[in-house]
Structure 1
């Protein structure tokens, strides 16, 4: 059972949405969460979030950071954490379905609509339904459109590939179909989102690479018609035991799973899915690729001790993208372990770009370099000047790395019927 649900803006500390279902927890729980965040960041010297589950005075906090907003549930009962996190993700998707986008400004303008949604989703702490198809029959509040698109969508629009559609049409609410002028707009948007994690050795060679991908569908189709979606014929399924690994040439799916609305009968043989998508946004497929992954980038690290300064070391990192110029990687993050004697760092942005940031976690001696938008065909570089509490030795040079990198890319296209 859920005691409270609220949405918090961590930048300002504002409570955007708060619904108390059972009145058995303190009313200042958002303040307790903010205090916990500040204490964690101060004690650990990092801006990273604390563990997503913690207990204060006998009641539990479970929260999730979704697009810079904290979706939080509190409870005094022994609930399933996986159920709560699935609920938080579903609530975020429902808000996007009914409001068009998910942002702080959108929540402020459509607070009454969100409260109406919550009242239908949760009753006295018990989850009733998270189905968009069912909820659209009970929610009557009209959404207020946000005129100014968020920064992320503006970035996508500037760098979108030819033939793709990333405009405001994919951000309209499903209730927009009630408008008589939009009845004939039967659109479905398909997004392929891949999260790539790779480790690099000091010579720039790839040590390990893995892709966690998902195919998301946002449907404005009436009547739930059948859609057939085919993937690349070069895909090889790990579940196929008849083929030895040495004989495989193509993209190997180590693991995959489908949404309930997908009929995967023909997938193993023809790489084809039959989909009956409900209105709104769903993830029709999750997959994982490991092994020989062709990376869309190259990393060139250089480690050098400063002559005449035994406690100084410079680490220069260059990342070059091999993807087309009209594509880009969003939220590219490089994590660089430093020697254990490292005391402080100073970073030089060698490109002068403001679209990146560097954080240093002194507790675990890690530097995290984040590039918000890494455009194809470009190169970014950074120089980290390290000061140690003792002299850097040859052994200390070996403690630099391996570099770990995460890149999230987005490819979107629209089908109009």
Structure 2
């Protein structure tokens, strides 16, 4: 049970506000934003997703730069409310096509209609895009695609001058194409979030992939779909050691530790030919979620070194090796490294001819930041930083530095080798041939190198 729901911009502007029960003061949005913006508790830089102020529980998630917030005085499950906020964001995106401040403001009548159907007097009714279509009567106002920024999810599928169609991100599930026609197409995205920890000598200590096969269908009549995965796909390890990489069973095969499927998926032939059969509901939904800890080749290797370079000085050397093919390009790479608390200055030296790279020293939290616009597979990049320390007593600089963390996005690449072999759609007629798009993207979840 929630009392209020609101959406705030990065500036704190109230884009959407709905008070369901009248139990929480009207100024809660301002209280929340000031608390989040100037959070100084528990030694953390950012506010946690759940906190309490004056007896009011605030729950929030950040989606594409927007803050989705719920408040209540009741003692409710935090995971339930956080999941609800994520689902509300997904439903709004399904209906307005693209989720940003401009699209919500232009479709505020539709958004409020959705909120009134999703939540009634603070209680959740449904978050199913398909079920809501029976109760929603307002048409979305679709933004001109030329005004959309390419830095959003659509931009994940940029490959040099080639561009994978990103219309699944910007299309509404209820709007028609100009002329009243609806383009028949289906999008399948394999999204993998990688967690890797490297030792100081470069060995892999832990590695894990959290993946999802995401589908968004614009097929009229909801035809049956067959989705075929790798023939050598195995679920579970059959009681073997999770780190027994010498077994012939693990060589070349795709072995998932565990997985779960959407309720619409039928697994009649999965054990035989690794085929998923489903009738896709409207909107975006996960066909399959999976986890993998089998040894895989990480897309990047990080080498980090810090050593003294004279009195009150030290030098940091960071090297990044791109271990993926040269026809693949990673973008929006960010590297961070905490420095000793007595660091007062840092100067940087990039490799000769470096383009699209930025460096910064955040003096407030003593952190080195290195940004790279893109990295081509097979390349290597180096950053040297010269540090100056204050005269105060200091200990072991290696122990007081790091670890190095990295975030990145790699379109059209996945480390697990899980692939969609074919996407078969039941034909309504001999001329029925809808567009099929299968896309891959790898993201960093927790990518860390110890020093």
TM-score range with shorter-chain normalisation?
A: 0.7 to 0.9
Q: 2:256 & 2:50 partners in 1: Cα distance?
A: 32
Residue 126 of structure 1 and its aligned partner are, at CA, apart by 0.9
Question: Aligned with 2:62: secondary structure?
Answer: strand
Question: Aligned with 1:117: secondary structure?
Answer: helix
Number of the residue aligned with 1:168: 167
Residue 50 of structure 1 and its aligned partner are, at CA, apart by 0.9
Unmatched 5+ stretches in structure 1: none
**TM-score, length-normalised on structure 1?**
0.85
Q: 2:150 & 2:64 partners in 1: Cα distance?
A: 11
Unmatched 5+ stretches in structure 2: 414-419, 424-433, 437-451
Number of the residue aligned with 2:68: 71
- Of residues 396-405 and 220-229 in structure 1, the stretch that sits farther from structure 2 once superposed is 396-405
Number of the residue aligned with 2:208: 210
Distance 1:256 1:45, change over 3 A: closer
Residue 6 of structure 1 and its aligned partner are, at CA, apart by 0.6
Residue 367 of structure 1 and its aligned partner are, at CA, apart by 4.8
Question: Aligned with 1:181: secondary structure?
Answer: coil
Number of the residue aligned with 1:194: 192
Residue 140 of structure 1 and its aligned partner are, at CA, apart by 1.8
Q: 1:16 & 1:136 partners in 2: Cα distance?
A: 23
Q: Aligned residue pairs: how many?
A: 407
Residue 372 of structure 1 and its aligned partner are, at CA, apart by 6.2
Q: 1:381 & 1:362 partners in 2: Cα distance?
A: 25
Q: Is the 8 A contact 2:332 2:374 kept in 1?
A: yes
Number of the residue aligned with 2:105: 108
Question: Aligned with 2:141: secondary structure?
Answer: coil
Residue 282 of structure 1 and its aligned partner are, at CA, apart by 0.5
Q: Is the 8 A contact 2:159 2:411 kept in 1?
A: no
> Alpha-carbon deviations, 1:223-249, whole Å to 9, x = none?
222211122233332253489943422
Q: Is the 8 A contact 2:157 2:412 kept in 1?
A: no
Distance 1:161 1:178, change over 3 A: closer
Q: Is the 8 A contact 1:258 1:264 kept in 2?
A: no
> Alpha-carbon deviations, 1:189-210, whole Å to 9, x = none?
0111111122223333333222
Q: 2:75 & 2:358 partners in 1: Cα distance?
A: 41
Matches within 5 A, 1:354-365: 360=362
Q: 1:103 & 1:381 partners in 2: Cα distance?
A: 36
Distance 1:140 1:226, change over 3 A: same
Residue 288 of structure 1 and its aligned partner are, at CA, apart by 1.4
- Of residues 102-111 and 235-244 in structure 1, the stretch that sits farther from structure 2 once superposed is 235-244
Q: Is the 8 A contact 1:344 1:362 kept in 2?
A: no
Number of the residue aligned with 2:315: 314
Q: Is 1:127 the counterpart of 2:96 in the alignment?
A: no
Matches within 5 A, 1:367-406: 367=368, 369=370, 371=372, 373-389=374-390, 390=392, 395-406=396-407
Distance 1:333 1:284, change over 3 A: farther
Distance 1:73 1:294, change over 3 A: same
Residue 269 of structure 1 and its aligned partner are, at CA, apart by 4.3
CA RMSD of the aligned region, Å? 3.2
Q: Is 1:416 the counterpart of 2:435 in the alignment?
A: yes
Q: 2:298 & 2:76 partners in 1: Cα distance?
A: 41
**Residue from 280, 288, 293 that aligns with 2:291:** 288
**TM-score, length-normalised on structure 2?**
0.79
Q: 1:107 & 1:152 partners in 2: Cα distance?
A: 18
Q: Is 1:263 the counterpart of 2:266 in the alignment?
A: yes
Matches within 5 A, 1:272-351: 272-307=275-310, 309=311, 311-339=312-340, 341-344=341-344, 346=346, 348=348, 350=350
Residue 275 of structure 1 and its aligned partner are, at CA, apart by 2.2
Q: Is 1:117 the counterpart of 2:118 in the alignment?
A: no
Q: Is 1:251 the counterpart of 2:250 in the alignment?
A: no
Matches within 5 A, 1:149-168: 149-153=148-152, 155-156=155-156, 158-159=158-159, 165-168=164-167
Q: 1:408 & 1:161 partners in 2: Cα distance?
A: 17
Q: 2:219 & 2:290 partners in 1: Cα distance?
A: 25
> Alpha-carbon deviations, 1:364-413, whole Å to 9, x = none?
x66565556545454444334444454666x4325544434444444499
> Alpha-carbon deviations, 1:52-104, whole Å to 9, x = none?
00011111000001111111100111112121111111111111111111111
Q: Is the 8 A contact 1:186 1:416 kept in 2?
A: yes
> Alpha-carbon deviations, 1:155-182, whole Å to 9, x = none?
34542796x7323355211112487632
Number of the residue aligned with 1:23: 22
> Alpha-carbon deviations, 1:335-389, whole Å to 9, x = none?
53544x54445363726656657575966x6656555654545444433444445
Q: Is the 8 A contact 1:62 1:81 kept in 2?
A: yes
- Of residues 269-278 and 29-38 in structure 1, the stretch that sits farther from structure 2 once superposed is 269-278
Question: Aligned with 1:40: secondary structure?
Answer: coil
Q: 2:194 & 2:371 partners in 1: Cα distance?
A: 14
Question: Aligned with 2:174: secondary structure?
Answer: helix
